[in-house]
Amino acid sequence: VSSVRTFHEDVRSALGGRHVVTDQDLTASHCIDWTRRWHGSTPAVLRPGSTDEVAEVVSAARRHHVALVPQGGNTGLVGGATPLAGEVVVDLRRLDRLDPVDAAARQVTVGAGVPLATVHAHVAPASLAFAVDLGAREQATVGGMVATNAGGIHVVRNGPMRVQLVGVEAVLGTGQVLVANMAGLEKDNTGYDLPALLCGSEGTLGIITAARLRLVARPEMVAAALVGFDSVDDAVWAASTLRGEPAVVAIELMTADGLAVVADFLQQSVPLLPVPAAVLLVEAAGRGDVTAALGDAVAALPGALDAAVSDDAAGRERLWRWREGHHEAAAALGVVHKADVTLPTGALARFVMAAPALVERVAPGSTTLVYGHAGDGNVHVNVVGPKPDDDSVVDAVLAAVLERGGSVSAEHGIGVAKRAWLVRQRGEVAVTAMRGIKSALDPDNICNPGVLLP
């Protein structure tokens, strides 16, 4: 207790009392995750406003043996930002630096606390765009997205966060400030790729304070289509074909069962009637007539039935609502158990079709939605029914994924939810290497000690 009190005194003098929040009414929202599956408690939420202040926090934590949980927008879906063992929360949202866009380099440097939507808005006037986009865009921060190597809806064209990350600034678990390629060199072949290492480290190696991000051309035209198919097989086959179309930037899969749940939630009818067995939401973007390019690509797909197409912003948003409504519609039914998985291309359709029956065997009477980023072989199995602390359904789904040669985490990370699966996924040698990296960069195990490594 006295050690924690001394830690509090140190951080109060580093951050000022206003940014050491101990009032439980104010810390409560930091202690529960988005899914409501993970609940913790914390003696304090720290709100550093600069890289130096983050370094002071980490150094004080080392001195006093205090464990830290970094937190951005708290939209993570694997419990990685929840203080489950009473850790101190470090809220990074005051790191809101927004440097001018470097149009010549097609890069921008931003603070870790900047929300994704702010990055999008910041680079748009320079006719540039940030390639990563995801449903939690208003809250998810750049630091959290780097820490989880977030994916989202455009991975099929531009890759995940790791591909967009040119450089990183971070306070390591040692308290030292690491500056890795923040000058944004496109080529720098001098040893280990530290930005790539920190990307996906889930707060276990240190605290990301800023990122140098790659930008892409802002598309002049965007068009989206909901395309119906008689079978999941046809839809998945179509997704593979569409990956070869240069203008296609998103290929998202939904099934009739999931759409029925969303239709109830939205109190609307699916725009394709009768509702097909499987639906792809396909988005095309670029210069020239992308609507025509999208129409031609869709018309050439074997098995495509009806399509609803839109190229104005409001119409596209209406189509996307059917896809982005899935997690909200599921959450409205209760606490959602989530398995975020990738399958080898050839195994995806069969898995999507098998998942609901697999869930029904383990937890009869549950509601199951299977949807996701078909272009990446990544689907999200959302199950409502089992008690919040019952892992049996997710375990059964993950076991089925491993049997089929897939991954137990495609884009959300391991967090606390999937720690038990890491060795089975990656093997002892890889996990031992990860432990070695962890102990080199965070020797006192103060950075998210409960996360990622079993």
Closer by beta carbon to ligand 2HG, 316 or else 380: 380
* Structure tokens that stand for 333 in this block: 């039914």
CA distance 90 to 208: 11
Shortest approach of ligand FAD to residue 424 CB, angstroms?
21
Closer by beta carbon to ligand 2HG, 35 or else 291: 35
Which residues pair with residue 336 across a beta bridge? 384
CA distance 68 to 46: 10
CA distance 16 to 328: 38
The end-to-end CA distance of the chain, in Å, is: 27
Closer by beta carbon to ligand 2HG, 75 or else 174: 75
Shortest approach of ligand FAD to residue 9 CB, angstroms?
24
CA distance 207 to 91: 10
Residue 315's CB is within 10 A of a number of other CB atoms, namely 14
Q: Where are the alpha helices (DSSP H) in 86-159?
A: 116-123, 142-148, 155-158
Shortest approach of ligand FAD to residue 327 CB, angstroms?
5
Residues whose CB is less than 8 angstroms from the CB of residue 238 and which lie 6 or more positions away in sequence, other chains included: 227, 229, 280, 301, 302, 303, 304
Mark residues 135-164: x for contact with ligand 2HG by CB under 6 A, - for none: x-----------------------------
Closer by beta carbon to ligand FAD, 147 or else 226: 147
**9-17, 144-152, 247-255, 292-300 -> range binding ligand FAD (CB under 6 A):** 144-152
Burial status of residue 240 (CB atoms within 10 A of its CB: 0-12, 13-18, 19 or more): middle
Among 11, 44, 46, 69, binds ligand FAD (CB under 6 A): 69
Mark residues 69-98: x for contact with ligand 2HG by CB under 6 A, - for none: --------x---------------------
Shortest approach of ligand 2HG to residue 308 CB, angstroms?
20
- Subset of 356-395 contacting ligand 2HG (CB under 6 A): 372, 380, 382
- Subset of 180-209 contacting ligand 2HG (CB under 6 A): none
CA distance 200 to 165: 11
Degrees to nearest 5, angle at CA 42 with 41 and 48: 145
Nearest residue to ligand FAD, using CB? Answer: 144
E strands along 248-377, which residues?
248-255, 278-286, 304-310, 336-342, 367-373
Shortest approach of ligand FAD to residue 74 CB, angstroms?
4
118 binds ligand FAD (CB under 6 A): no
Closer by beta carbon to ligand FAD, 200 or else 386: 200
**66-74, 212-220, 263-271, 362-370 -> range binding ligand FAD (CB under 6 A):** 66-74
327 binds ligand 2HG (CB under 6 A): yes
Among 338, 398, 407, 414, binds ligand 2HG (CB under 6 A): 338
Instruction: Assess contact for 247 and 284: CB atoms under 8 A.
Output: yes
* Structure tokens that stand for 403 in this block: 């049997």
Residue 353's CB is within 10 A of a number of other CB atoms, namely 17
Does 160 sit behind a cis peptide bond, omega within 30 degrees of 0 on the bond before it?
no
* Residue 203 binding: pick among ligand 2HG, ligand FAD, none (C-beta 5-8 Å cut-off by kind): ligand FAD
Closer by beta carbon to ligand 2HG, 64 or else 380: 380
* Residue 157 binding: pick among ligand 2HG, ligand FAD, none (C-beta 5-8 Å cut-off by kind): none
Q: Is the dihedral of CA 53, 54, 57, 58 positive or negative?
A: negative
Among 106, 412, 418, 438, binds ligand FAD (CB under 6 A): 412
The type of residue at 6 is T
Instruction: Assess contact for 261 and 367: CB atoms under 8 A.
Output: yes
Closer by beta carbon to ligand 2HG, 204 or else 382: 382
CA distance 309 to 337: 32
Question: Where on the chain is the footprint of ligand FAD (CB under 6 A)?
Answer: 34, 69-77, 80-81, 92, 112, 134-136, 139-141, 143-145, 147-148, 150-152, 202-203, 207-208, 327, 411-412, 415, 448, 451
Question: Where on the chain is the footprint of ligand 2HG (CB under 6 A)?
Answer: 77, 135, 327, 338, 340, 372, 380, 382
